[in-house]
């Protein structure tokens, strides 16, 4: 599938889809506290999305059973919400959420602290978020796709963390996952040339330990192989003639 360039009208729809998703993430963040379950987060997120007149794009995607991916501690991504999984003080929790507005998809992820967490856990969250911002400094028309990947890698490597390689970012638009794939680690080639009107979901996933991941028996939940904490930060961004627009920021 070719990389799509969005028209002015499509960009407006992407902007609105992403603006609504940013509000969902804001509400989910307010809900984080010890004692709630990961299913509470999913229920709240799905209600917020549906009350906006939108559709949760993750629900039933390749059979994924929920609207919000909720991944705790060593869970990297795609954790399945459960009414027996309680958030506890000291946990870190990642929410990955997306929605469809008038046929246009948005996708974003955040990692939050549950109550008071260890400084090293907070540092992992902060570095993961900053790695996204380092990456999008390169997200300019005329640059190449893997300039983004290289910038994320160069920044994160200095901390000795493991950059997850088995999962990558992606184009987004009338489909949740469009070309191109966007690795979060340096590539030998330059990749495609970035053009105005491309909308990309850039999403570093960073482990405190090694980069290796494995899948649990539920066939969804991705965990770090060494059991170390993992953080995720994702926004849907628009490539423009100038600076990129981060569409899913509140």
Q: Does 250 bind ligand MF3 (CB under 6 A)?
A: no
Q: For residues 150 and 169, which CB has a smaller minimum distance to ligand MF3 in the complex?
A: 169
| Residue 84 contacts which entry, Co ion, ligand MF3, none (Cβ below 5-8 A, type-dependent) | none
Cα–Cα distance for residue pair 217/207, rounded to 1 Å: 20
Residues with Cβ within 8 Å of residue 155, at least 6 apart in sequence: 127, 130, 131, 134, 135
Judge residue 130's burial from the number of C-beta atoms within 10 Å of its C-beta, 0-12 exposed, 13-18 middle, 19 or more buried.
Answer: middle
215: contact with ligand MF3 by CB under 6 A = no
Give the interface segment with Co ion, choosing from 99-107, 116-124, 182-190, 206-214 (CB under 5 A).
99-107
- Looking at residues 11 to 70 of the shown chain, list those that interact with ligand MF3 (rule: CB under 6 A): 58, 61-62, 64, 69
Kindly give the residue spans of alpha helices, DSSP state H, lying in the chain.
Answer: 8-31, 38-51, 119-136, 145-157
| Helices within 52-144 (DSSP H only) | 119-136
Determine, following the binding rule CB under 5 A, whether residue 245 of this chain makes contact with Co ion: no
Contact status: 161 vs ligand MF3 (CB under 6 A)? no
Collect all residues with Cβ–Cβ distance below 8 Å to 112 and sequence separation of at least 6: 29, 32, 92, 93, 94, 95, 125
201: contact with Co ion by CB under 5 A: yes
Query: Does 233 sit near ligand MF3 (CB under 6 A)?
Result: no
Question: How many residues are given for the chain?
Answer: 250
Q: What are phi and psi of 179, to 5 degrees?
A: -70, 155
- Is residue 178 involved in binding ligand MF3 (CB under 6 A)? no
- 181 lies in the binding site for ligand MF3 (CB under 6 A): no
Subset of 97-116 contacting ligand MF3 (CB under 6 A): 98, 107
Q: Which does 64 bind (CB under 5 to 8 A by kind): ligand MF3, Co ion, none?
A: ligand MF3
What does the binding site for ligand MF3 look like in residue numbers (CB under 6 A)?
58, 61-62, 64, 69, 78, 96, 98, 107, 170, 201
């Amino acid at each position: 599938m070719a990389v799509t360039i969005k028209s002015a009208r499509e960009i407006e729809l992407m902007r609105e889809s992403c603006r609504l998703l940013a509000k969902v993430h804001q509400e989910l963040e307010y809900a984080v506290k010890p004692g709630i379950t990961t299913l509470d987060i999913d229920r709240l997120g799905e209600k917020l999305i549906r009350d906006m007149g939108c559709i949760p794009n993750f629900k039933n995607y390749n059979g994924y059973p929920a609207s919000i991916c909720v991944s705790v501690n060593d869970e990297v991504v795609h954790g399945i919400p459960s009414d027996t999984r309680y958030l506890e003080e000291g946990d870190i929790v990642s929410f990955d959420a997306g929605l469809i507005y008038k046929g246009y998809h948005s996708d974003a992820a955040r990692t939050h602290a549950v109550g008071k967490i260890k400084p090293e856990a907070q540092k992992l969250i902060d570095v993961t978020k900053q790695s996204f911002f380092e990456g999008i400094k390169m997200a300019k028309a005329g640059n190449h796709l893997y300039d983004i990947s290289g910038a994320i890698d160069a920044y994160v490597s200095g901390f000795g963390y493991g950059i997850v390689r088995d999962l990558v970012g992606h184009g987004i638009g009338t489909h949740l996952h469009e070309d191109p794939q966007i690795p979060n680690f340096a590539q030998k080639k330059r990749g495609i040339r970035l053009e105005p009107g491309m909308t990309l979901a850039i999403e570093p996933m960073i482990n405190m330990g090694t980069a290796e991941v494995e899948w649990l028996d539920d066939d969804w939940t991705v965990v770090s192989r060494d059991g170390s904490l993992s953080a995720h930060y994702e926004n849907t961004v628009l490539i423009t003639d100038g600076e990129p627009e981060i569409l899913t920021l509140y």
